[in-house]
A = this chain, B = another copy of it.
Amino acid sequence: MSEPVRSRPIGVFDSGIGGMTVVKELFSAAPQESIVYFGDTARLPYGSKSVETLQRFAREDAELLLSFDVKMIVVACNTLSATALDEVERKARGIPVIGMIGPCAHAAVRTTRNGKIGIIGTEATIASQAYEAAIEEESRRAGIRCEVHSAACPLFVPLAEEGWTEHLATELIAESYLKELRYRGIDTLILGCTHYPVLSNVIQRTMGTGVTLVNSGAAAASVVVELLETEREGEEGSVSIPHGSPEHRVLVSDVPRKFQAIGERFLGRKLPDARLVTWKEAWTISGSMEIPS
């Protein structure tokens, strides 16, 4: 017997537990919705890997969520949103897919007063220039001009996972990554990685109180809620009204050390029970390849 259509869950995935910062926002913005979360903890982190590999991971991760008959997919990972959203959309075949980039760009363009927006993220996210493109589109729509500055902050993910949120070393690393953005006079900074809200205190202190931080989880959650409402107003929308109490599932490809502690740091409450996804792997070796220099 298949589940009634009305209670289909929202699928959310990320490289690991960072996407729980998005789930936290969804719990508060749409508490009636059931969520299936997948964290690819065996292959994390994604931020330093190549676009080709990220696109493959995105296809595999999306396929896993689709097997749970999800009504919507939230790509709760800025790196995948920046490099592989098309891949997820192709897999999803008409099911709505919400990435992090569009909602954040939208929020940032509506937040800035001086038109100077900063973006911080993983190396893959920053290299993709996906945020620059999205902000340009949003600015045109809003009829304003924006200047964009970006910085890759690769050490922020391990610092957030280690919980080094108030260490002097974290302050020094933040200063090193952010001083250029501060010098540029931005008034709005997109936290373009789901790990970064954990470090928002140190980032705010480093940037100064005049800079507004845009949290990608909150921005994406508000787009999800908007979409749920729009679809509810229409007839036969692919997004439906849940009934009964929500049922949450957490799937992970590994249970790393400190899983519970890290997950709860991100979620801000106890983690639901988790199930392990085992990847059966078989390799093939390609021909000679070009190594980018």
Q: Which residues of A are in contact with B by a Cβ distance under 8 Å?
A: 41-43, 48-50, 52-53, 56, 60, 64, 123-124, 127, 154-155, 157-159, 161-162, 164, 167-170, 172-173, 176, 251, 253-260, 271, 273-289, 291-293
Q: Given A49-B42, A279-B283, A285-B275, are A162 and B154 neighbors across the interface (CB < 8 Å)?
A: yes
Q: How far is the CA of A206 from the CA of B243 in the complex (A)?
A: 60
The smallest beta-carbon distance between A277 and chain B, in angstroms, is 5
**B60 close to A283 (CB less than 8 A):** yes
**Number of identical monomers bound together in the oligomeric complex:** 2
CB distance from A25 to the nearest CB of B (A): 23
Contact A285/B155 with A50-B257, A127-B257 known, Cβ cut-off 8 Å:
no
Min Cβ gap A150→B in Å is 15
Which of B64, B285, B293 is A277 in contact with, Cβ under 8 Å? B285
Query: Which among A53, A259, A274, A287 has the highest number of chain B CB atoms within 10 Å?
Result: A53
Give A70 Cβ to nearest chain B Cβ, in Å.
15
A283 in contact with B292 (CB, 8 Å): no
Contact of A286 (CB < 8 Å), options: B167, B260, B275, B287: B275
> Separation in Å of the A206 CB from the closest CB of chain B?
13
Q: By the criterion CB–CB under 8 Å, are A172 and B168 in contact?
A: yes
CA distance A258 to B44 in the complex (A): 17
Name A280's contact: one of B164, B253, B281 (CB within 8 Å). B281
Check if B276 sits within 8 Å of A285, measured CB to CB: yes
Provide the bound-state CA to CA distance between A46 and B103, in Å: 33
Which residue among A258, A286, A289, A291 has the maximum number of chain B CB atoms within 10 Å of its CB? A291
Taking A124-B257, A277-B285 as known contacts, 14 extra A-B pairs with beta carbons closer than 8 A to each other, sorted by chain A number, are A42-B43, A50-B255, A50-B256, A123-B258, A154-B162, A155-B155, A155-B158, A253-B283, A255-B289, A259-B292, A260-B293, A273-B288, A280-B284, A281-B281
